[in-house]
Structure 1
Amino acid sequence: MVLSPLAVVLLSGVVGMGVAFLVWLHRDRPGAGPLAVFVVAASLWAVAYGIELAASGVPTMERLVQIQLTLSVIIPIAWLVTVIEYTGHPHWLTRFRTVLLLVEPAVFVTLVWSNQAHRLIWSGSGTQYISASSVTLVPAYQVAYWGHLAYILLLILTGSVLLLRMLFRSNTVFQGQGIALLLAIAVPTVIHKLFLFGVLPMAFDPTSLGYVMSGVVLSVAILRGQLLDVAPVTRELGREAIFTELDDQVIIVDDECRIVDINAAAAALLDGDQDSLLGRPLQGELSQLAETVPSPGERTQTETTLEHDGGVRYYDVRVTPLYRAYGVVSGHLISLRDITDRRQREQRLDVLNRLLRHDIRNEMNVVKGNADLLRDSADADERERLDRIIRTVDDIVDRSNKIGRVTEALETEQHSPTPLRKLLDTVISEARERNPDATITLTSEADLWIQGGPSVLIALEELVENAVEHRAAPEDPVEVEITATRTDGTPGIRVAVHDNGPGIADHEREVIRSETETPLKHGSGVGLWLVNWIVRNLGGRMSFPDTDGPGTTVELQLPAADPATDEPAPADESAPADDPTATNRSENAD
């Protein structure tokens, strides 16, 4: 069935202008402007051809052909500019290049509208009936037209290369968008060229229908493929900004370890200009760094020292291979991070840790031993002072031992499913032996398992011990309530320790929440710090929920685990044998 001129005009105009409207809605996106020009020009071309089919008289038909040829000049240029902006290379379109791009189209349009004087576009024309009411002009195209056709194909080929290059480097979303842009120009171009060379044995030029198909493809890409919402130019600009503005030093070398790209931070490290360093061997610029580049295809991470500004700096070096087609290594990306400050902090911490865990502890033992000797020969008043010295020394040594246990546990322990009730029973039993006058109550759901290690026991001991030791007045009874339940909504275990003591000061809570201490804002001890470190190492968190009555509640959120198959569930020692409930209670009254 041959479409009538009116059908061609209606279908092409509606579809083309509809797509143009969709593009206009995204006019602030990269490539939206030239893409709108492309769609409008293609639609008007189809409309002009439809009017030609309905027109009568050769002069009118020739004017419509001139309009179509003029519009055909706009389409490939607009499409190429769309691709250039879409793929993130708008800087290519300098004023000089834009003028060169428009020289041939301007000459061609001038020749089209002056064809009667020179006949370089077409030398003669005839008419051919498509249907009883439709006649089309059949020009005899000359050399200027075929030269322009070659120029159009060159523009389309250039844009296609840019798109194909992007397709091989992009993910699925951008690949779909690139294919849509390729089809938008390829479909009508192929149809038009097949018609010109007589491959399609028909009098009706189907190019207009090709642009209708392109409009459909672009519509789908805009509505479903986020053609103008998520464009690769944004990603490319982001990558370029990261590379140029990153504080870390980044160097890209080829397969012969020559510098092919370098950011400003790395250029400063090499004491050179970015442009002047390109093409130079890395071995000649920084031999220590060149030695870190592995064999092709290997990925490495190491530390090295480099001299810069008259001093030695430590760097974490990561070398990543860069692959081209078929898995061939084309070079390596070298990134350096200055870790000098971190190394110095680690060294200071190691020294302080050794002093705290060994030297100070040994010296405190010497102080305690001499205090014990003096105590035997001292009078009552001096003995009391010496007892205070001994208690202080014991506290320092205990704190040092505690920090040592936590540090070792955090560095070496392996997390595994652990029965929580078993840990709580151990902590409560030891706390009762040390504080027989304390009332400790445990409420626990049955069969609670956490993902942890020995350090959890230290954290629970610290919380319970703090709750027992801190009371409002020496004569006040100590009441500690421990609750262990499953959290709502998320797979975790909640352990709450509540006491009736004086409470934790607000500034101490804030120190733990902010995870930093300053000379004007610090905690009075390390107990809560140790608990917080342990819980964070497990992937949990510690909080201080508000309570209605006196005292303090410290709450731990711990990761839950599936029960281990080789360890039985903890027995309920306090619940009656015939009570199948899931709540276990253990209490020691005054």
Structure 2
Amino acid sequence: MRLVTIVLVATAILFSAVTVTVWRHREAPAATLFAVITAVAGSGVLGVAVSVVLNLGRPAVLVTALLVSLVLPVPWLLFSFRYTGRTELVSFNTAAVVATVPWIGVLATALVFGSQLLPWLALPSRETASGLATLVVALLSLVQWFSLLYAGGLMLIGSGLLLWTFQRYEYLDSTTGMLLGIFGTVPWLSLLFGFQVASIEPLALPRTVAVGFLIGAVSVVSIFSRYHLFRNVPAAGTVGPTTIIEELDDLVILTDEGGTVIEVNETAERNLNASEAEVVGADVSELLDVTLGDQRETRTIEVETGSGRTLLDPSVSELTDQHGRCLGYAIVLRDVTTRTTRQQRLEVLNRVMRHNLSNDLTTIVGQADWLRAKASDPEFVTTAETIVEVADDLAGLSADAAEIAELIDTSKTKTRAVPLGPLVEDVLQTVAGDDPNVACDCEVPSGIEVESSQDLLELALTNLVENAVVHNDTDEPYVAVTARYEPDRPYPLRISVADNGPGIPDMERQVIVRGTESPLHHGTGLGLWAVRWAVTKLGGTIQFDSREPRGTNVSLRFPKTRLSDSGGDGEHDR
């Protein structure tokens, strides 16, 4: 029995140390409740130890164990609610309701064992009761055991909720969940088992309490010493999705499978100029004046909101159970009024500018040609030729802009497996094949295929090669296109275009890499922008590096690449 006493005292000390540690971090979610739990557990173990040491007898041990088993489940359940993010269930009212049955059990325990501990209580013990007193004692014992079963249910609910939460979220450590489950079940089960065998073996209850609570204490100490209970709190995973939905600037509407609204977020309430109580139960088709089917098929809808007619992009997701049956729909409506209006404005201005520019340039070229033909003064002829040259450049820039816009347009880009080697050969031949002064190198391993739009990939390579050739100020321009396939990298394909030209100005590099221009920081043309847009559209990256002694190396990386079965060590050389 001495060993049991030592274990009980050591366990109480462990729980006391944990209580002090947790209390120092009581600002953490659910830390205060956990401190209450460990304090109750430690006090109960210490009470059993004192009863044994002072030889107070079996009733004192039973009363202490019963009080712990009835009181402990209430803060445990509240802790599980708070720790997993169900804060709406943690309140004084909830605690009062949950604790009603356990406190009735505490009162019954006091009355059942009162005459054995406090002689001034008139209620006899079960062994000495007779007549009506027997019925009262039996009823109190029944209430006592019902309270114990109820308390056990609270422990299981709390432990089950914690274990399920730790299993649900991958970012949580499963060992912490397992240790919490052990702490929430093993000590209480040791009490229940001890009650069952106490009538057979008087010392069984202290022994089971010593073993069960020691296991619980070791679990708690392990949680704090190795797994940091309050570092990754699962409440973030529970509260997070709800908070995100509530904080979204988008309208979120949940409906059942028939389209009846069952929940909306605050943004939807505000924009629809109605409270949730007014919206819930309404048909979503009548609420938005657009059928659910049209919302799934239409890109933009017009809805009457508190600020007037608003353009919204609907996204409808079907909610299903584990068997794939439809339970309802989640509708997310994004306000695109400003974006759509700006897009329409840009499209109209672009069309008008291109149309008028084309017509005006045609007029200018015609007039300049007439002036050149009629003029006898060489200076006038030179001026007319300059006008024609600049007008042709502007017309070419306008045509290039139109071509780039058409190619970048999402609706006109189809992806397929594009053989890289032949494409690079064609680009080099088209751009520099007729110029004997340009030296070209091509090193592309055979069999490389890029899952992309051939038009976009060709657009990017063509503009890079043209930039390397056209802007080269040497007598012997040089351009090299090389490719490397590295399957272990996130972006397996690297295409490099190198030249010996004057280089790309730092400001223009920064503008292209950053993706934004300003009046003070801008590029000089559309070529590199076309490369940037095409590469971004294909999911790739772009990088600029200087070459020594002069020149630029532009590297493009693409993710969706493979080496076909016909590929080998051979290369396309030029």
Residue number in structure 2 paired with 1:30 = 29
Residue number in structure 1 paired with 2:143 = 147
1:363 Cα deviation after fit: 5.0
SS at match of 1:555: strand
Q: Distance in 2 between matches of 1:56 and 1:22?
A: 28
Deviations, residues 463-493 of structure 1 (Å, cap 9, x unaligned) = 2322333355xxx525334251427773222
512-521 or 87-96: bigger deviation: 87-96
- 1:321-400 equivalence runs, <5 A: 321-323=318-320, 329-355=326-352, 360-361=357-358, 364-379=361-376, 380-400=378-398
Q: Distance in 2 between matches of 1:8 and 1:62?
A: 18
Tell me which of 73, 77, 81 is aligned to 1:80: 77
- Relative to structure 1, the CA distance from residue 154 to residue 568 in structure 2 (aligned partners, 3 Å threshold; closer, same or farther) is closer
For 1:247, the aligned partner's letter is D
Residue number in structure 1 paired with 2:153 = 157
Deviations, residues 31-71 of structure 1 (Å, cap 9, x unaligned) = 3433343344335434543554565464xx55555444444
The answer (yes or no) to whether the contact 2:316–2:331 under 8 Å persists in 1 is yes
For the pair 1:117 / 2:114, whether they are aligned, the reply is no
Deviations, residues 381-438 of structure 1 (Å, cap 9, x unaligned) = 33322322322232233223333333333343444444544344333334445644x4
Q: Distance in 1 between matches of 2:462 and 2:392?
A: 18
- Relative to structure 1, the CA distance from residue 143 to residue 207 in structure 2 (aligned partners, 3 Å threshold; closer, same or farther) is farther
The answer (yes or no) to whether the contact 1:115–1:122 under 8 Å persists in 2 is no
For 1:539, the aligned partner's letter is G
1:248 Cα deviation after fit: 0.9
Residue number in structure 2 paired with 1:404 = 402
Residue number in structure 2 paired with 1:543 = 543
For 1:480, the aligned partner's letter is Y
65-74 or 507-516: bigger deviation: 65-74
For the pair 1:531 / 2:531, whether they are aligned, the reply is yes
The answer (yes or no) to whether the contact 2:69–2:188 under 8 Å persists in 1 is no
Structure 2 residue runs without a partner (length 5+): 129-135
114-123 or 456-465: bigger deviation: 114-123
- 1:268-287 equivalence runs, <5 A: 268-274=270-276, 276-277=277-278, 279-283=280-284, 286-287=287-288
For the pair 1:425 / 2:394, whether they are aligned, the reply is no
- Relative to structure 1, the CA distance from residue 416 to residue 493 in structure 2 (aligned partners, 3 Å threshold; closer, same or farther) is farther
Residue number in structure 2 paired with 1:233 = 235
Q: Distance in 2 between matches of 1:6 and 1:299?
A: 74
- Relative to structure 1, the CA distance from residue 121 to residue 99 in structure 2 (aligned partners, 3 Å threshold; closer, same or farther) is farther
- 1:544-559 equivalence runs, <5 A: 544-559=544-559
For the pair 1:458 / 2:454, whether they are aligned, the reply is no
42-51 or 453-462: bigger deviation: 42-51
Q: Distance in 2 between matches of 1:237 and 1:117?
A: 53
Cα RMSD after superposing both structures:
4.3
Deviations, residues 185-236 of structure 1 (Å, cap 9, x unaligned) = 4445455445546799654223543434445666677778875443321222
SS at match of 1:545: strand
The answer (yes or no) to whether the contact 1:468–1:478 under 8 Å persists in 2 is no
For the pair 1:470 / 2:461, whether they are aligned, the reply is no
Q: Distance in 1 between matches of 2:550 and 2:324?
A: 68
1:337 Cα deviation after fit: 0.8
- Relative to structure 1, the CA distance from residue 146 to residue 230 in structure 2 (aligned partners, 3 Å threshold; closer, same or farther) is farther
- 1:483-562 equivalence runs, <5 A: 483-486=481-484, 490=489, 491-501=492-502, 503-559=503-559, 561-562=561-562
Deviations, residues 254-284 of structure 1 (Å, cap 9, x unaligned) = 456444432221111111234x436442459
- Relative to structure 1, the CA distance from residue 12 to residue 198 in structure 2 (aligned partners, 3 Å threshold; closer, same or farther) is closer
Give the fraction of aligned pairs with identical amino acids, expressed as a percent: 23
1:300 Cα deviation after fit: 7.5
For 2:251, the aligned partner's letter is Q
SS at match of 1:118: coil
Q: Select the structure that is richer in helix.
A: 2
TM-score (norm 1): 0.76
Q: Distance in 2 between matches of 1:201 and 1:320?
A: 62
Deviations, residues 494-551 of structure 1 (Å, cap 9, x unaligned) = 41322333x4333322221221123343222111111111222222222222445444
Residue number in structure 2 paired with 1:581 = none
Structure 1 residue runs without a partner (length 5+): 126-139, 573-583
SS at match of 1:484: strand
Deviations, residues 279-332 of structure 1 (Å, cap 9, x unaligned) = 44245971425x2279xxx98885321022463211122233445676665443
Q: Distance in 2 between matches of 1:122 and 1:357?
A: 103
TM-score (norm 2): 0.78
Residue number in structure 1 paired with 2:443 = 444
SS at match of 2:120: helix
- Relative to structure 1, the CA distance from residue 121 to residue 486 in structure 2 (aligned partners, 3 Å threshold; closer, same or farther) is farther
Deviations, residues 135-156 of structure 1 (Å, cap 9, x unaligned) = xxxxx97655653553454355
- Relative to structure 1, the CA distance from residue 51 to residue 486 in structure 2 (aligned partners, 3 Å threshold; closer, same or farther) is same
The answer (yes or no) to whether the contact 1:423–1:457 under 8 Å persists in 2 is yes
1:79 Cα deviation after fit: 1.3
For 1:83, the aligned partner's letter is S
For 1:428, the aligned partner's letter is L
SS at match of 1:500: coil
529-538 or 156-165: bigger deviation: 156-165
Q: Distance in 2 between matches of 1:209 and 1:157?
A: 22
459-468 or 543-552: bigger deviation: 543-552
Residue number in structure 2 paired with 1:133 = none
Q: Distance in 2 between matches of 1:223 and 1:256?
A: 52
